[in-house]
């Protein structure tokens, strides 16, 4: 392998590691959200828990999941591209 292909492989490896790290963080955070949701449902004693008798608890946690998914995924892709380009 010449120097250029080693450099390209190294950049690709850094980008994959960056994306994998963000995926692991995302899995842990979403798991913690589910754990908190389960604890609140057990605390209030039911599956149909509503805040102010209007908003289901599930909607709030689904919204938080979506925000975390989009946020960490977009930051992960951005950081992966930056790692591949070699910029710090």
* CA–CA distance, 34 with 20 (Å, rounded to integer): 21
In this predicted structure, what is the pLDDT of residue 35?
92
Number of domains in the chain: 1
> Domain limits at 78?
3-85
* CA–CA distance, 21 with 16 (Å, rounded to integer): 9
Mean pLDDT on 12-28: 86
**pTM check: above 0.85:** no
DSSP of 41-86: HHHHTSS--EETTTEEHHHHHHHHHHHHHHHHHHHHHHHHHHHHHT
In this predicted structure, what is the pLDDT of residue 1?
58
**Interval 27-46: pLDDT, tens:** 998 899 889 888 888 887 77
């Amino acid at each position: 392998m010449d120097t250029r292909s080693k450099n390209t492989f190294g950049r690709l490896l850094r980008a994959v590691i960056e994306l994998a790290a963000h995926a692991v963080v995302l899995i842990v955070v979403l798991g913690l959200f589910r754990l908190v949701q389960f604890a609140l449902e057990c605390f209030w004693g039911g599956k149909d828990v509503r805040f102010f008798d209007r908003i289901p608890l599930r909607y709030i946690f689904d919204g938080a999941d979506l925000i975390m998914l989009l946020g960490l995924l977009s930051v992960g892709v951005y950081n992966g591209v930056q790692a591949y380009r070699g910029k710090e």
